[in-house]
Amino acid sequence: MKSSTKNILALIMSVTCAIGVGISFAQNPPPAGMDAGGEAGMGAGMGAAGGDAGMAAGMGGGGPSVIVPLTKVLTEVKTGTYALEHEHGRVHWTVSHHGFSMFTAVFSEVSATLKFDAADVTRSQLDATVNMKSVASQIPVFDEKLNSAVWLNTEKFPTSNFKSTKIERVGSNGLKVSGDLTFLGVTKPAVMDVTFVQAGNVSPPAGGYRIGFNGKMVINRSEWGMSKSTVGDEVTLNLEAEFTEPGAAAH
Protein backbone atom coordinates (compact mmCIF):
# COMPACT_ATOMS: atom_id res chain seq x y z
CA MET A 1 0.00 0.00 0.00
CA LYS A 2 1.43 3.40 -0.95
CA SER A 3 2.39 5.76 1.86
CA SER A 4 -0.06 8.40 0.61
CA THR A 5 -2.91 5.87 0.82
CA LYS A 6 -1.83 4.90 4.35
CA ASN A 7 -1.81 8.55 5.38
CA ILE A 8 -5.32 9.06 4.04
CA LEU A 9 -6.61 5.97 5.87
CA ALA A 10 -4.94 7.10 9.09
CA LEU A 11 -6.55 10.53 8.76
CA ILE A 12 -10.00 8.99 8.21
CA MET A 13 -9.60 6.73 11.26
CA SER A 14 -8.48 9.66 13.43
CA VAL A 15 -11.47 11.77 12.40
CA THR A 16 -13.84 8.83 12.96
CA CYS A 17 -12.46 8.26 16.47
CA ALA A 18 -12.74 11.95 17.29
CA ILE A 19 -16.37 12.03 16.16
CA GLY A 20 -17.14 8.89 18.18
CA VAL A 21 -15.59 10.34 21.33
CA GLY A 22 -17.49 13.59 20.81
CA ILE A 23 -20.80 11.78 20.47
CA SER A 24 -20.06 9.64 23.52
CA PHE A 25 -19.27 12.70 25.66
CA ALA A 26 -22.38 14.48 24.41
CA GLN A 27 -24.58 11.54 25.36
CA ASN A 28 -22.72 10.78 28.60
CA PRO A 29 -21.24 13.99 30.07
CA PRO A 30 -18.28 13.54 32.40
CA PRO A 31 -19.11 13.52 36.13
CA ALA A 32 -18.84 16.67 38.20
CA GLY A 33 -15.27 17.40 39.14
CA MET A 34 -13.82 16.21 35.82
CA ASP A 35 -12.95 19.39 33.94
CA ALA A 36 -10.99 19.91 30.76
CA GLY A 37 -7.81 19.08 32.61
CA GLY A 38 -9.35 15.82 33.77
CA GLU A 39 -10.33 14.88 30.22
CA ALA A 40 -6.86 15.70 29.02
CA GLY A 41 -5.33 13.60 31.76
CA MET A 42 -7.51 10.67 30.82
CA GLY A 43 -6.75 11.07 27.16
CA ALA A 44 -3.03 11.30 27.74
CA GLY A 45 -3.08 8.32 30.04
CA MET A 46 -5.04 6.15 27.63
CA GLY A 47 -2.81 7.10 24.74
CA ALA A 48 0.38 6.04 26.46
CA ALA A 49 1.75 2.87 27.94
CA GLY A 50 0.87 4.05 31.49
CA GLY A 51 -2.87 4.21 30.75
CA ASP A 52 -4.06 3.43 34.27
CA ALA A 53 -1.90 6.15 35.79
CA GLY A 54 -3.08 8.71 33.28
CA MET A 55 -6.73 7.84 33.86
CA ALA A 56 -6.27 8.11 37.62
CA ALA A 57 -4.63 11.51 37.24
CA GLY A 58 -7.45 12.73 35.05
CA MET A 59 -10.17 11.59 37.46
CA GLY A 60 -8.40 12.73 40.64
CA GLY A 61 -10.96 15.38 41.67
CA GLY A 62 -14.15 13.41 41.09
CA GLY A 63 -14.83 11.68 44.43
CA PRO A 64 -14.66 12.23 48.19
CA SER A 65 -11.49 11.73 50.16
CA VAL A 66 -11.48 9.78 53.42
CA ILE A 67 -9.58 11.90 55.94
CA VAL A 68 -10.39 9.95 59.12
CA PRO A 69 -11.21 6.26 58.52
CA LEU A 70 -14.91 5.48 58.71
CA THR A 71 -16.21 3.19 61.42
CA LYS A 72 -19.53 1.46 61.99
CA VAL A 73 -18.51 0.36 65.50
CA LEU A 74 -20.12 2.55 68.15
CA THR A 75 -17.32 2.24 70.68
CA GLU A 76 -14.78 3.44 68.11
CA VAL A 77 -16.48 6.84 67.82
CA LYS A 78 -14.36 9.71 69.09
CA THR A 79 -15.35 11.02 72.53
CA GLY A 80 -16.37 14.67 72.54
CA THR A 81 -19.10 17.27 72.39
CA TYR A 82 -20.91 17.59 69.05
CA ALA A 83 -23.51 19.84 67.49
CA LEU A 84 -26.26 18.74 65.12
CA GLU A 85 -25.44 19.80 61.57
CA HIS A 86 -28.35 21.96 60.40
CA GLU A 87 -28.62 20.58 56.87
CA HIS A 88 -28.74 16.98 58.10
CA GLY A 89 -30.97 17.19 61.16
CA ARG A 90 -34.72 16.76 60.68
CA VAL A 91 -37.77 15.26 62.33
CA HIS A 92 -40.30 13.58 60.03
CA TRP A 93 -43.66 12.86 61.63
CA THR A 94 -46.44 10.56 60.47
CA VAL A 95 -50.04 10.29 61.67
CA SER A 96 -53.18 8.57 60.42
CA HIS A 97 -55.34 10.90 58.31
CA HIS A 98 -58.83 9.97 59.56
CA GLY A 99 -57.98 6.33 58.91
CA PHE A 100 -57.71 6.79 55.14
CA SER A 101 -53.94 7.13 54.76
CA MET A 102 -50.76 8.01 56.65
CA PHE A 103 -49.92 11.71 56.48
CA THR A 104 -46.29 12.84 56.74
CA ALA A 105 -44.74 16.25 57.35
CA VAL A 106 -41.40 17.50 58.65
CA PHE A 107 -39.80 19.84 61.15
CA SER A 108 -36.80 21.13 59.24
CA GLU A 109 -35.15 23.29 61.93
CA VAL A 110 -33.62 21.28 64.75
CA SER A 111 -30.72 22.14 67.04
CA ALA A 112 -29.04 19.62 69.31
CA THR A 113 -25.96 18.96 71.39
CA LEU A 114 -24.52 15.49 71.88
CA LYS A 115 -21.96 14.77 74.58
CA PHE A 116 -20.59 11.40 73.52
CA ASP A 117 -18.58 9.13 75.82
CA ALA A 118 -16.99 6.24 73.93
CA ALA A 119 -15.64 4.67 77.11
CA ASP A 120 -19.19 4.29 78.42
CA VAL A 121 -21.83 5.17 75.84
CA THR A 122 -24.55 5.07 78.52
CA ARG A 123 -23.02 8.20 80.08
CA SER A 124 -23.57 10.18 76.88
CA GLN A 125 -26.10 13.04 76.90
CA LEU A 126 -28.46 14.47 74.28
CA ASP A 127 -30.31 17.79 74.32
CA ALA A 128 -32.41 18.64 71.24
CA THR A 129 -34.78 21.51 70.42
CA VAL A 130 -37.23 21.73 67.51
CA ASN A 131 -38.43 24.99 66.01
CA MET A 132 -42.13 24.15 65.74
CA LYS A 133 -42.73 26.98 63.28
CA SER A 134 -40.55 25.13 60.77
CA VAL A 135 -43.31 22.55 60.25
CA ALA A 136 -43.75 21.83 56.54
CA SER A 137 -46.32 19.61 54.85
CA GLN A 138 -45.78 20.97 51.29
CA ILE A 139 -49.38 22.24 51.53
CA PRO A 140 -49.14 25.96 52.47
CA VAL A 141 -52.80 26.28 53.49
CA PHE A 142 -52.51 23.27 55.78
CA ASP A 143 -49.25 24.59 57.26
CA GLU A 144 -51.24 27.61 58.47
CA LYS A 145 -53.67 25.25 60.23
CA LEU A 146 -50.80 23.29 61.75
CA ASN A 147 -49.36 26.49 63.22
CA SER A 148 -52.74 27.56 64.60
CA ALA A 149 -54.03 27.06 68.14
CA VAL A 150 -56.09 24.10 66.90
CA TRP A 151 -52.95 22.02 66.37
CA LEU A 152 -49.39 23.03 67.26
CA ASN A 153 -50.15 26.53 68.59
CA THR A 154 -46.69 27.70 67.59
CA GLU A 155 -47.26 31.32 68.66
CA LYS A 156 -47.62 30.21 72.27
CA PHE A 157 -45.28 27.20 72.08
CA PRO A 158 -42.62 27.97 69.43
CA THR A 159 -40.28 25.16 70.46
CA SER A 160 -40.30 21.57 71.70
CA ASN A 161 -37.43 19.97 73.56
CA PHE A 162 -36.11 16.50 74.31
CA LYS A 163 -33.45 16.01 76.98
CA SER A 164 -32.06 12.57 77.71
CA THR A 165 -32.18 11.18 81.23
CA LYS A 166 -30.97 7.63 80.58
CA ILE A 167 -29.23 5.80 77.75
CA GLU A 168 -29.05 2.02 77.38
CA ARG A 169 -27.16 -0.16 74.88
CA VAL A 170 -29.29 -2.39 72.64
CA GLY A 171 -27.13 -4.79 70.66
CA SER A 172 -23.92 -3.60 69.02
CA ASN A 173 -25.11 -0.32 67.45
CA GLY A 174 -28.49 0.31 69.06
CA LEU A 175 -29.41 2.69 71.85
CA LYS A 176 -32.55 3.19 73.91
CA VAL A 177 -32.64 6.86 74.85
CA SER A 178 -35.10 7.79 77.58
CA GLY A 179 -35.77 11.43 78.32
CA ASP A 180 -38.13 14.28 79.01
CA LEU A 181 -40.14 15.54 76.03
CA THR A 182 -41.61 19.02 76.33
CA PHE A 183 -44.41 19.58 73.80
CA LEU A 184 -47.22 22.17 73.96
CA GLY A 185 -45.81 23.27 77.30
CA VAL A 186 -46.23 19.80 78.81
CA THR A 187 -43.21 17.74 79.90
CA LYS A 188 -43.57 13.94 80.01
CA PRO A 189 -41.23 10.94 79.68
CA ALA A 190 -40.58 9.60 76.18
CA VAL A 191 -38.32 6.97 74.67
CA MET A 192 -36.36 7.12 71.43
CA ASP A 193 -34.87 4.09 69.67
CA VAL A 194 -31.58 5.10 68.08
CA THR A 195 -29.33 3.32 65.60
CA PHE A 196 -25.71 4.39 65.12
CA VAL A 197 -24.89 4.45 61.40
CA GLN A 198 -21.32 5.62 60.86
CA ALA A 199 -18.60 8.00 62.03
CA GLY A 200 -15.49 9.46 60.44
CA ASN A 201 -14.40 12.30 58.22
CA VAL A 202 -15.04 12.33 54.48
CA SER A 203 -14.54 15.44 52.35
CA PRO A 204 -16.87 16.41 50.80
CA PRO A 205 -19.06 16.97 52.78
CA ALA A 206 -17.31 19.65 54.78
CA GLY A 207 -17.59 19.87 58.53
CA GLY A 208 -14.82 17.66 59.85
CA TYR A 209 -15.45 14.58 61.97
CA ARG A 210 -19.08 13.45 61.67
CA ILE A 211 -21.34 10.98 63.52
CA GLY A 212 -24.56 9.71 61.93
CA PHE A 213 -27.64 8.32 63.67
CA ASN A 214 -31.22 7.39 62.82
CA GLY A 215 -33.90 7.57 65.48
CA LYS A 216 -37.56 6.71 66.04
CA MET A 217 -40.01 7.81 68.71
CA VAL A 218 -43.72 6.98 69.00
CA ILE A 219 -46.01 9.12 71.17
CA ASN A 220 -49.72 9.58 71.76
CA ARG A 221 -50.37 13.27 71.17
CA SER A 222 -53.31 13.31 73.59
CA GLU A 223 -50.88 12.66 76.45
CA TRP A 224 -49.40 16.11 75.76
CA GLY A 225 -52.79 17.82 75.78
CA MET A 226 -53.99 17.58 72.17
CA SER A 227 -57.65 16.66 71.81
CA LYS A 228 -58.46 13.23 70.38
CA SER A 229 -60.28 13.13 67.05
CA THR A 230 -60.59 10.97 63.96
CA VAL A 231 -57.02 12.04 63.19
CA GLY A 232 -54.74 9.39 64.69
CA ASP A 233 -53.64 9.82 68.27
CA GLU A 234 -50.41 7.88 67.70
CA VAL A 235 -47.67 9.93 66.07
CA THR A 236 -44.44 8.40 64.77
CA LEU A 237 -41.35 10.62 64.77
CA ASN A 238 -38.47 9.56 62.55
CA LEU A 239 -35.26 11.43 63.13
CA GLU A 240 -32.20 11.85 60.93
CA ALA A 241 -29.14 13.29 62.62
CA GLU A 242 -25.53 14.00 61.67
CA PHE A 243 -23.41 15.57 64.39
CA THR A 244 -20.15 17.44 63.78
CA GLU A 245 -17.56 19.06 66.00
CA PRO A 246 -18.58 22.59 67.06
CA GLY A 247 -17.35 25.35 64.79
CA ALA A 248 -17.01 23.10 61.74
CA ALA A 249 -18.31 24.40 58.42
CA ALA A 250 -21.56 22.70 57.37
CA HIS A 251 -22.35 21.38 53.90
β-pairing, 174-183 with 110-116?
A: unpaired
Residue 23 pLDDT: 40
Percent of the chain with pLDDT strictly greater than 90: 66
pLDDT band at 205 (very low <50, low <70, confident <90, very high): confident
Q: What single-letter DSSP state applies at residue 138?
A: S
In whole angstroms, what is the distance from residue 126 CA to residue 115 CA? 7
pTM for the model: 0.72
- Over residues 69-112, the pLDDT tens digits come to 899 999 999 999 999 998 899 999 999 999 999 999 999 999 99
- Over residues 151-161, the pLDDT tens digits come to 999 999 999 99
Domain spans in the chain, listed from the N-terminal domain onward: 3-64, 67-244
- Over residues 7-45, the pLDDT tens digits come to 444 444 444 444 443 444 344 444 444 444 444 333 433
- Over residues 178-204, the pLDDT tens digits come to 999 999 999 999 999 999 999 999 888
Q: Which of 47-61, 123-137, 229-243 comes out lowest in average pLDDT?
A: 47-61
User: CB pairs under 8 A, 24+ apart, for 77-81?
Assistant: 77/116, 77/118, 77/196, 77/199, 77/211, 78/116, 78/118, 78/199, 78/209, 79/116, 79/117, 79/118, 79/119, 80/115, 80/116, 80/245, 81/113, 81/114, 81/115, 81/116, 81/246
Q: What is the CATH superfamily name and number for domain 67-244? A: Lipid/polyisoprenoid-binding, YceI-like (2.40.128.110)
In whole angstroms, what is the distance from residue 176 CA to residue 214 CA? 12
